[in-house]
Structure 1
């Protein structure tokens, strides 16, 4: 007697959605799982995506954001419906404002569940923070809806909130569209935007005329490093970056570093004296141009971007070029060499031996003299940053939280390339640094991840220290600890008694870290700092938290600039 084999269960919509995202190339998923996103998350995992279980959805969103920025791939953060999504909103807003291609895969209440406590206007919530609201509308359209969301993330460089109602998730998916075993679904690819011939000619003319040109790269220029450097070399231009592209010209001896609040005095003055600034994929906002003070009165400013609305959005410009950074740089260089096949006489411009010596001696922040503010109980944050930078391995990734302290790790910690730096600052929220570091460490496990954070931001995100320890991520967390919300203490015009609400009793962060299973050290003195540097030089293969009790800087230089914009 034969026994009939049971019929295979039909694929549900939840499984089809997760499978489709995996087939489209999602490498990693971050999130917190509840009943609403359980099946979709496991379908992604079965499809080959890596998985990091965060302790809070807000942390998961920023982990995914940092991973996407580092790898250049579309990453997924997954949440439960309603409260799971609202928990992630700050991280989603940061990603949306940074134009990070990311999918927020979230459950939603069913259409008929009008009295559900989970019910909110998820589409409206997504719209309100600048993300794109998409949803799975039916079982029949599930895969097409998912592909549309992914396509928007890639081609429009947007953060997309894809809501999948739970009453649709459990329905059988009626399609039969899975690719053959071993193949992948066709992934959308963004096409490079070529600049017009007229724009190329005009930019070539401007670079030919300029005697003190500077090429400035932003987030949109991060994938064009070789092309931009080649253009700088034939035109005698110096290079610089916004904070978002820090490390792009690390190997260029004529790089001035980060333009803006983190610049050295020499770098800022050199940029201010340029007669031509060509900004590639750079917004020229108040941070990068110090509210316009880094643009000289007679400086010509040309902005290159892939979006028309970005040209001149933050600052008046002399001309705008619509085009991809790499395509434009290559086309302009080709045009210049076609006019003069021999290399241009760049010695008449800024790429001179004398300028190279000046940059080596004065362009980095650590070359500037300062008075050591260290006491017997507190370490000067500049001394701390300089010595840690020397002790840390060259192959590193640096994440920065927000706060009064942040100029120190941003200005003093060097990175090997543009993939080695991530600062989630577009929404200007503190408390995202630890999440960012976890995303970075997951994306680049071959490097030591270094986090610079304040005590306020670190304690705000402390639950994710468990995630870093659990994932066994090699990481050095440097807490610039002044026992306060330092920005408010230093930059608010307030009486001493009013500042009591932003000052706190001393916290033993090293002990807290050890409670999570991390290694913890405290730095108060030069001797403590030497011991910490020795420990780092021995190699770090897990999480090391350094509680650095820092001396007051009287208000950081970069934040004084920032507060001009408020």
Structure 2
């Protein structure tokens, strides 16, 4: 068969369902082969970056990679931001790019550049197919690497002349492997260390929302009563309504949750990614007792030097630890954790009944949104000041129901990400919150959403500027540089793309309009003028945090 046909058949064998992208001339053979596939659907997007974010959201929600596709040169460079975001946020992804014929790559040539070398820093593996017979091995290796903990992005480049060649090879059948489990004696040491502690605490990172780890963590908490703080990407690892939930940590300044961390004499780090929340922020003196439990050994850092590392499948490690704890006696003091949960609950509810005229407070919007959404519904956050409010004020009953980019932290994620999420869960409410800056970075995907009839609601917080940068500059320098910009007429924009549009002016009207918007189907846009005067107030509050005990 033709090499491009073989690549498609290999992807089918791997269970790939979707490829998002913008093809070019150098993808022509592959696209013709893909058109004949009965199991892979190609989704034409309006920009390659949008394609990458759609694939990222799919990968985060399913644990399986989707493809994102671009041609050589500018198509590949347009992909790279979304690919980097997926890789650093631990979402499996296949990146498929075309390339000029191998007969011209050794010299100056139209649109040709070294795509593989460009992608190496933002992928787990990047490779160009140099011979058509290598396609089965390359595809099998790429998908395995993308899925393997910690998951991420892998690039496969297919030069146009290789795509047209003939081959007699056939796909390799995938054989899944079970991850190694920790040694029992190491888990026993950890159990003994926990039992000897007085105020142990758990920090649940991104790894806790993957591979069944959340269910195992909840069993450990039920047995021991140990409280859990989550990172931004660990939300939902424990139920927000559980007494064990101590909410989220990761803001630059000290929050109430940090009080429980400071008071603990043993910190159990689960599935922790240092890119989310650097240890110098919570272990400044490098003197805390730390246990590291994860799929991979700890990253080396002078502020993160665990006394014990438990390496292996995270869910199995937690199951083993729960079994060991059943036979031990312990007497924990959770007074600080209970006080932190109590005070944080009061913070979350502070503005739930706010009826101020004009600008809408972030806290009020998120309170109403959490009340309106079901436990299985999914919120996607873009990147900006709103991300900080979502991290602090929006909490989850289930893992993977709040997707926040917090490794690479790229703006422009939420709108295309919501389209990808709606393809995984078409029957759930899929809501994206964007700043007006981040929304306009991939506004072209409004057309994709309409064409796909994506069942999504996008809420734009309008402040007509780059609010997070303003917040940061004001805090550090007492003023900010020029960061303001204009916006479109939002209702006309929605109408132009065939979306339902809503604009809410007052807090008192938000909940009812939200309910109306959620009851609709297809793509919907809801815009609110956001009260970012709350930003410096939060900074001032965090700077004066007094721990409850």
**1:169 maps to 2:169:** no
Q: Give the 3 Å change call, closer, same or farther, for CA 286–526 of structure 1 in structure 2.
A: closer
Q: Which of 99, 104, 109 is the equivalent residue of 1:116?
A: 109
Distance in 2, Cα, partners of 1:364 & 1:432: 29
Matched with 1:181 is none
Superposition deviation, residue 395 in structure 1: 3.2
1:511 is paired with a residue of what secondary structure? Answer: helix
Check if 1:444 corresponds to 2:410. Answer: no
Match of 2:78 among 70, 77, 87: 87
1:395–1:101 distance in 2 versus 1, CA, 3 Å: closer
Query: What displacement does 1:240 show?
Result: 2.5
Mapping of residues 69-84 of structure 1, within 5 Å: 69-84=60-75
Alignment of 1:542-553 (within 5 A): 542-553=522-533
Q: Pick from 90, 97, 109 the counterpart of residue 106 of structure 1.
A: 97
- Report the equivalent of 1:499: 481
- TM-superposed deviation, 1:159: 1.2
Structure 1 gaps, min length 5: 1-10, 179-184
Q: After TM superposition, list the pairs within 5 Å mapping 1:164-203 onto structure 2.
A: 164-175=158-169, 177=170, 186-203=173-190
Name the structure 1 match of 2:384: 403
Q: State the 1:328 CA deviation.
A: 1.3
Matched, 1:474 2:465: no
Which residue, 205, 216, 230 being the options, matches 1:227? Answer: 216
Change in Cα spacing, 1:519 to 1:280, as seen in structure 2 (3 Å) is: same
- Distance in 2 (CA, whole Å) between partners of 1:166 and 1:474 is 37
Alignment of 1:480-519 (within 5 A): 480-492=461-473, 499-500=481-482, 502-519=483-500
Q: Structure 1 residues 43, 543: closer, same or farther in 2, change over 3 A? A: same
Q: Distance in 2 between matches of 1:163 and 1:363?
A: 49
Mapping of residues 277-426 of structure 1, within 5 Å: 277-284=267-274, 287=277, 291-293=280-282, 299-310=288-299, 315-337=304-326, 339-340=327-328, 344=329, 348-350=332-334, 361-364=342-345, 366-367=347-348, 369=350, 376-426=357-407
Query: Paired residue for 1:58, among 33, 49, 53?
Result: 49
Unaligned runs of 5+ in 2: 543-549
Aligned with 1:442: secondary structure? helix
Evaluate the alpha carbon distance shift between residue 497 and residue 96 of structure 1 in structure 2; reply closer, same or farther with a 3 A threshold. Answer: closer
Correspondence 1:40 to 2:30: yes
Change (3 A) 1:260 1:155: closer
Question: Given the superposition, is the C-alpha separation of residues 329 and 375 from structure 1 closer, same or farther in structure 2, using an over 3 Å criterion?
Answer: closer
Q: Deviations over 1:462-494 (max 9, x none)?
A: 001111222112212111110001122222259
Describe how 1:237-252 pairs up with structure 2 within 5 A. Answer: 237-250=226-239, 252=242
Shift of 1:399: 0.5
CA contact (8 A) 1:59 1:461 kept: yes
Contact 1:215/1:279, CA 8 A, preserved across alignment: yes
CA 154–495 in structure 1, closer or farther in 2 if over 3 Å, else same: closer
Deviation at 1:442, TM superposition (A): 1.6
Distance 2:198 2:55 in 1: 43
1:426 and 1:94 map into 2 onto residues whose CA distance is 7
Q: Secondary structure at the match of 2:498?
A: coil
Please, what TM-score do these two structures have when normalized by structure 2?
0.88
Deviations 1:228-252 (A, max 9, x none): 2222233331123221121121163
Deviation at 1:496, TM superposition (A): 9.9
**Aligned CA distance change for structure 1 residues 190 and 513 (closer, same or farther; 3 Å):** farther
- d(CA) in 2 for partners of 1:68, 1:557: 37
Mean alpha-carbon deviation: is it higher for 269-278 or for 59-68? Answer: 269-278
Larger radius of gyration, structure 1 or 2?
A: 1
Shift, 1:77, TM fit = 1.0
TM-score normalised to structure 1 length: 0.86
